[in-house]
Chain A
């Protein structure tokens, strides 16, 4: 595999479920990101990890919990989400200040 991969590509969950989104980068980058893209808002940066440390938490509700166990993997744990959390969740990686490379995204629907 090359580039940035995300699983699952589609996820439907109820408001009481717990699920996790996974992102893996095969580019040797040292920074990883989670973004949310919903229909009526611009792409929103959620979290940034640099060298496996969280360096940005952009006022995201606690029902979203990121985890970065190593520089190649990034998770987004989801718990008691709301219907308005339905969106495309995009993962990206970069080497320092270089351009970010994005994964294909996970289309999340919360019922």
Chain B
């Protein structure tokens, strides 16, 4: 069975600090996808990134960066120079390789609070 663990339920930082959100996953599949989503107070999940299991290159997008380590089954997310608008719940997710759509397994989420 697949499982995604986000051990940090809540993180509070002061604006301009860097913050890393941890994600550890379990799967028996050799081919899978990992995702990060942001859920602001409005409730809608916003897609941030998708990474397939064969691509271990780290990725940077503006202030966001992701560190995929297959050896430790982790896919951590770092926000550099955090801003108040980054306050949200962040979800890490794992999908099975399935031709009939994506079966996403979500972690419990990490609530990030960025204080001015």
Contact = CB atoms under 8 A, between A and B. Distances in A.
B70 interface: no
Give chain A's interface residue range (CB within 8 Å of chain B): 20 to 34
Give chain B's interface residue range (CB within 8 Å of chain A): 20 to 34
A56 B102 CA distance: 10
A104 B93 CA distance: 18
Interface stretch (B40-48, B53-61, B79-87): B40-48
Contacts of A99: 35, 47, 50, 102
Given A97-B95, A103-B44, A42 B106 contact: yes
Interface of B: 4, 33, 35, 37, 42-47, 50, 91, 93, 95, 97-109
B103 A97 contact: no
A100 B43 contact: no
